[in-house]
Chain A
């Protein structure tokens, strides 16, 4: 099993890197492979590493929000403070960005934030599987947001929702052009929304793996790539939180357009 994998040359995406001695191959993309936990083929219901790490995401979110706040103290413990700060942070974001009437979608947005945040953070554990590095996952999330928000816009405002694309403040001649641009940008939203997250996660993890491979290849100078990985890891921690924040705030922005389509 091991020998053929080392010999195998991938078509694209992963360029195997070999040191002077030959034989050492870095495969930065292997960490993203979906594998069945108990062997066998991956069918739609098979428990896979996706299942495992999503379950851990739920457990981590529950640990913070339910177990952390279980005492319901008026003077909060550290865990409860963190849970409350997370709650207030997202609540304020929803209220500030999407308006006060968006608060009824707060549980949905909060769930989205917790999932992305903990999936990103858990993915930083060595040997972990990052569920949010997969376009299949982020695309489903982004498309759900996109269709929900679009349907909501039409339900709340009917055809007036289309005014979102008709810029009244622009000169009349320009309006059809602007409408076309607005329309394109609207439909590109789920694409950018999902690829931003998956891309950031995948790139960081792949780069970390490549540097780690260099450490094994460089021999005596192994500490240089390890220093680089350490620095990169700190950056990745920042990226994990920021990407969760960006994903959530964009959801709020899209929700705002559905609730208040006029410019």
Chain B
């Protein structure tokens, strides 16, 4: 080594006796490194990067799909809500109509009952009045007969009755 340095130039870089050694090992190194890189490292990293890219793409697509589904679900929900509102409205209307009909029927029935009762009452009032009238004429006849008897006057029943009823009609 000392001889090499002494005989060679000052820069070890220019010592051409070491060139074959350096070039030989450089070639070996580059071949080995090339095979490691091109056969193992680069395909692996390329695959990882491609995997990630496809994962991201598919994730974005899935997210898009989920978003569409959510939109759909919301639409369905809104539709259901609108349907339910319409149904409720319909039911309320039907109930209202039913109740109105029921009320009408009840009112009609009550009216009929009231009318019947009024008629009955009128009938009974008329009866009582008729009764009273006949009682009045009967009492008047009896009283007239008793008065005539008290005055010792004879009178037949038929003429008394005729006279009383004539007076009642005239007085009334």
Contact = CB atoms under 8 A, between A and B. Distances in A.
Nearest to B6: A8
Interface string B5-42: 11001111111011111111111111011101110111
A202 to B, nearest CB: 7
B45 interface: yes
A44 B38 CA distance: 27
B18 A45 contact: no
Contacts of A80: 48
B1 interface: yes
A54 B49 contact: no
Nearest to A87: B45
A111 B38 contact: yes
Interface stretch (A9-17, A237-245, A246-254): A9-17
> Which size class do B's interface residues fall under?
35 or more
A110 B42 contact: yes
Given A32-B11, A62-B36, 9 more contacts: A50-B26, A61-B37, A65-B45, A66-B36, A74-B48, A107-B37, A134-B13, A136-B23, A137-B22
The 5 closest A-B pairs by CB, nearest first: A13-B10, A65-B41, A44-B20, A107-B38, A34-B18
19 contacts: A8-B6, A12-B9, A13-B10, A13-B11, A29-B10, A29-B12, A44-B20, A54-B25, A54-B29, A55-B29, A61-B33, A69-B41, A74-B52, A87-B42, A111-B38, A133-B13, A136-B23, A137-B23, A202-B11
Interface of A: 1, 4-5, 8, 10-14, 29-30, 32-35, 42-46, 48, 50-51, 54-55, 57-58, 61-62, 65-66, 69, 72-74, 76, 80, 83-84, 87-88, 106-108, 110-111, 114-115, 131, 133-137, 140-141, 198, 202
